[in-house]
Structure 1
Amino acid sequence: MFMQNTVRTAGPRARGLIAVRAEAPPTIDALARGFEAFKETHTRQLEEIKKGVADVVTAEQLEKINAALTELQTAVDDQAKIQAAAKLGNGAVIGDLQADPEYTAAFRAHMRKGDKAPADIQAAMQKGTDADGGYLAPIEWDRTIGEKLKRISPMRQESRVITIGVAGFKKYFGDRAVGSGWVGETASRPATTTPQIGIVDFTPGELYANPAITQQLLDDAAVDLEQWLGSEVDTEFNRQEGIAFLSGDGSNKPYGVLTYVTGAANATRHPYGAIKAVPSGSAAAFSGDGLLDVMYDLPSEFSANAKWHLNRLSLKDIRKLKDGQGNYLWQPSYASGQPQTLAGAPVVEYPDMPTVAAGNIAALFGDMEATYLVIDRVGIRILRDPFTNKPFVHFYTTKRVGGGVHNPEPMRAVKIGTAL
């Protein structure tokens, strides 16, 4: 179910409404109309600022449109990822309300058998008390478990992933520093430089969880708690992985890609050097020129698969930027399954990327698959332990995973500021 979102277009105050109704998912059409409303309102705001009569109402209106536009884009993106709902309990579908089978069976038995109904089911006039006929009004209840949102990073999906069969993984890198020179027919041939070999270790760390549930609860619960618990642990592991892949310090965990940027903790770890940082062009914000500088600083060999990697709040600020011809650098996706773009390159949102602030690396641009390597030692292992802490059953769950920069050259980092 999509929530109601309303975006007011520019004008004296509001010339039209763009609404995403609860009974229908947002469409590409609604997203396009929302973007037009955003551009019109933003243009009006800029004109007011130039005249020195900036209107607070206009600024608030723009922020509301911007927020609604972000929700529209996210919802459109999510439509391409929707899968069939998992089933819990006695065939109850997630999100559906199912009638209680015991109440319903008793009610039907009473209706069929009349006076011969079981003694504990009586037809009376109160639905609040079972003994007085509560079975005549079978209740409905949700046989699912509500879940608090956990923000999951798409880092694994964007990176190169390999599975290894031993305790660790080493990658050898040649520096291509072979020398050469032009010589005459009889000139001497002195030794030239010889390329060197560098080694980078990718040692998996271990994630673990050890939740416990009583045996009676496992036996009596109306939902499949083992399935639910496994899903919760998997989600938590994915969240922890995403954080480590971006900023992990390598201590029993992966080395985060941000730690390889020039000046960061692992800037000298790779034989090819650090991920190059490029200033944003503004002291405490993104700038259109700065983003274009980043794009063209990336070697053309890596531009075909290059994407922007940043968080949602940063994207909200970038949406207002224009090029020299007044065209907005950000564009929504106009086809189902196609990504939103920034200066023509796809955008990937990472919840754990740093926000916009002076000195922060607030965005990455490049080919993440060619840059970052995820190492899986084994998949998730679960040890069901009903003996150690009776009457609790522990589900000891582990996963061994590592990661680090495979090649820093296909990536650039945007550092907020006018200089490095």
Structure 2
Amino acid sequence: MELSHSQAVIRLKDIKEELERLGDKTELTAEDEQSFDELTREFAEVDNHRRQLERKSALERVRSATKATERGPAATKVEGGTPLSSRDSYDLDPILHPDSVEDHRFRNPWDLSEVRTFGRSKEDVGTELRARALSAIEKMRGCNDSIRGTATDILERWDDDEATIAKLCLATSSPEYLRAWSKMARGHSHLISSDEQRALERAMSLTDTQGGYLVPFQLDPTIILTSDGSKSDIRMAARKVVATGDVWNGVSAGAVSWRWSAEGSEAGDNSPGFEQPSVPVHKADGFVPISIEALMDEANVTTEVGRLLAEGKDILEAAAFATGTGSGQPTGLITALAGTASEVAVATAETFASADIYGMEEALPARYRRNASWVANKRIYNLVRQFDTNGGADLWERIGNGQPNELLGYPALESEDMDGSWNTAVAADNYIAVFGDLTNYVIADRLGMTIEFIPHLVGSNRRPTGQRGWYAYYRVGADSVNDAGMRVLNLATSV
């Protein structure tokens, strides 16, 4: 019998369930009778094995404690079973060896003092840190299941060989760090304990800048927006990635050139042309003021700060993702497509009609239509509704009944920062609608928003106003990585 204690317990449970299943039958076949007898004997053998393991473990702990007592109070504690210096001890049974490193990892995943790096590869250490981070996400305080699910997805999909995201998660999600950050957010830094100070210093070692403190992982606006949904429809439909550096680098390729080949013929050079699109990330900052009275009265100020930062971030990005210049800020969807081969002109000069909607759909290659969406200002959608007042063939937008709006059967997303009107007396380009697969527009979020607490705000005469505030900054980038997958409608006007 070579089962570990945990394996024996699991096997006993399985045998019990099978015996109960057989016992519920009104009549047992000869085969059932034989199985019942064999399972009963196996249960007795496994249960006896379990008891022997528990007795052996208890005896080992008694011997260890006795030896430590004989050597005196300064004696080094000896772990049960194989010494921890052995590689095999890393996966000791956590029930028989409750003080093993493996069990300690899941009891307190934030304690990295037990993480061994000597003699281990970078990949092995990274795997250890990611396992701890996943355990930490399950134990994170002050968040809901939606945030936990999003944090797990980010960690599993985007963490690198250096375990950058895992390190950030472990450093900024611990109870000590959350308590320290909450005190800092209230201006009570003098109340920070030694454990909390070490947690702050550990998190500070991960930042590129000096000063400020990383927002706790569970309150990070990037994670909050991803889990609870953004007000920006472009962010919701775009491809979202996590950047761990100053630039996100991707890979794109054209369609592979296949051919029909005869038996035994030499293969042709059908490899696609690869490109490496890059999306630089840019710094954005914000400020949240609050009066001293409000700060004293607010019971859960840290959660409110996270919510306010997320709302401000969402509003700022909504404009940038639509019309951002790409200089010191993300490149907007319109900015990326305007003036390219993806630009489509209206059928009749200075006139917007239903034919333009159909023309946009026809201009997009079929392979991109399967995941296509519309993006436009609400005013443009209202004009579309007025194309056919009689409910005829042109009324192809689904409205009401709790269903999302659809135009020609594709989701109709909204961006109030896009053009919603035009002036025929002024020469200008008016980009009034985008249609295409928005996963070709990439938003690169760099995790880790930093915040600084400003204890006193001053007025124009340099005297305190009785207000305090939080100055926050983070980095994000966006750009199109494949213009061919989208089309933009330009209603050009002239004098």
TM-score, structure 1 normalization: 0.52
- Secondary structure of 1:278's partner? strand
RCO (CA 8 Å, sep 6+): is it higher in 1 or 2? 1
The CA distance in 2 between the partners of 1:287 and 1:257, in whole Å, is: 23
Q: Name the count of aligned residue pairs.
A: 252
Deviation at 1:223, TM superposition (A): 6.8
Match of 2:285 in 1: 208
The CA distance in 1 between the partners of 2:258 and 2:393, in whole Å, is: 47
From 455, 473, 476, the counterpart of 1:386 = 455
Q: How does 1:370-385 map to 2 (within 5 A)?
A: 370-385=439-454
Matched residue type, 2:432: A
Q: 1:282 to 1:417 in 2, by over 3 A?
A: farther
Deviation at 1:383, TM superposition (A): 2.6
The CA distance in 2 between the partners of 1:179 and 1:376, in whole Å, is: 36
From 356, 362, 365, the counterpart of 2:432 = 362
1:158 pairs with 2:240: no
The CA distance in 1 between the partners of 2:440 and 2:389, in whole Å, is: 28
The CA distance in 2 between the partners of 1:285 and 1:152, in whole Å, is: 30
**Contact 2:286 2:312 (8 Å CA) reproduced:** no
The CA distance in 2 between the partners of 1:319 and 1:388, in whole Å, is: 50
Deviation at 1:379, TM superposition (A): 4.1
Match of 1:311 in 2: 377
Deviation at 1:297, TM superposition (A): 1.3
Deviation at 1:283, TM superposition (A): 2.5
Identity %: 23
Match of 1:349 in 2: 414
Matched residue type, 2:295: L
Q: 1:418 to 1:353 in 2, by over 3 A?
A: closer
From 394, 398, 409, the counterpart of 2:473 = 398
- Secondary structure of 1:377's partner? strand
Q: 1:371 to 1:196 in 2, by over 3 A?
A: closer
Matched residue type, 1:355: G
Match of 2:489 in 1: 414
Matched residue type, 1:414: L
Residues 358-389 of structure 1 deviation map (CA, whole Å, 9 limit, x = unaligned): 63110011111x22100011143323343897
Deviation at 1:156, TM superposition (A): 0.9
Residues 156-191 of structure 1 deviation map (CA, whole Å, 9 limit, x = unaligned): 111111112222212233456989999xx9xxx9x9
Q: 1:377 to 1:222 in 2, by over 3 A?
A: closer
Residues 288-344 of structure 1 deviation map (CA, whole Å, 9 limit, x = unaligned): 1121111011111111221211111111111122499942334333542x2112222
Structure 1 unaligned spans of 5+: 1-150, 268-273
**Contact 1:308 1:363 (8 Å CA) reproduced:** yes
TM-score, structure 2 normalization: 0.44
The CA distance in 2 between the partners of 1:181 and 1:328, in whole Å, is: 43
Match of 1:244 in 2: 320
Larger Rg: 2
1:171 pairs with 2:250: yes
Q: 1:290 to 1:388 in 2, by over 3 A?
A: closer
**Contact 2:325 2:332 (8 Å CA) reproduced:** yes
- Secondary structure of 2:470's partner? strand
- Secondary structure of 1:165's partner? coil
The CA distance in 1 between the partners of 2:251 and 2:398, in whole Å, is: 41
**Contact 2:283 2:474 (8 Å CA) reproduced:** yes
Deviation at 1:198, TM superposition (A): 3.4
**Contact 2:354 2:394 (8 Å CA) reproduced:** no
The CA distance in 2 between the partners of 1:361 and 1:166, in whole Å, is: 33
**Contact 1:355 1:362 (8 Å CA) reproduced:** yes
Matched residue type, 1:383: E
Matched residue type, 2:334: L
How large is the Cα RMSD of the aligned pairs?
A: 3.7
Matched residue type, 1:361: Y
Greater shift, 310-319 or 351-360, is seen at 351-360
Q: 1:367 to 1:175 in 2, by over 3 A?
A: closer
The CA distance in 2 between the partners of 1:170 and 1:335, in whole Å, is: 42
The CA distance in 2 between the partners of 1:366 and 1:315, in whole Å, is: 16
- Secondary structure of 2:478's partner? strand
The CA distance in 2 between the partners of 1:307 and 1:383, in whole Å, is: 39
Q: 1:156 to 1:379 in 2, by over 3 A?
A: farther
Match of 1:4 in 2: none
**Contact 1:307 1:345 (8 Å CA) reproduced:** yes
- Secondary structure of 2:475's partner? strand
- Secondary structure of 1:234's partner? helix
- Secondary structure of 2:476's partner? strand
Q: Which has the higher helix share?
A: 2
Match of 1:51 in 2: none
1:331 pairs with 2:397: yes
Q: 1:282 to 1:325 in 2, by over 3 A?
A: farther
**Contact 1:202 1:375 (8 Å CA) reproduced:** yes
The CA distance in 1 between the partners of 2:395 and 2:346, in whole Å, is: 15
- Secondary structure of 1:244's partner? helix
Deviation at 1:208, TM superposition (A): 0.7
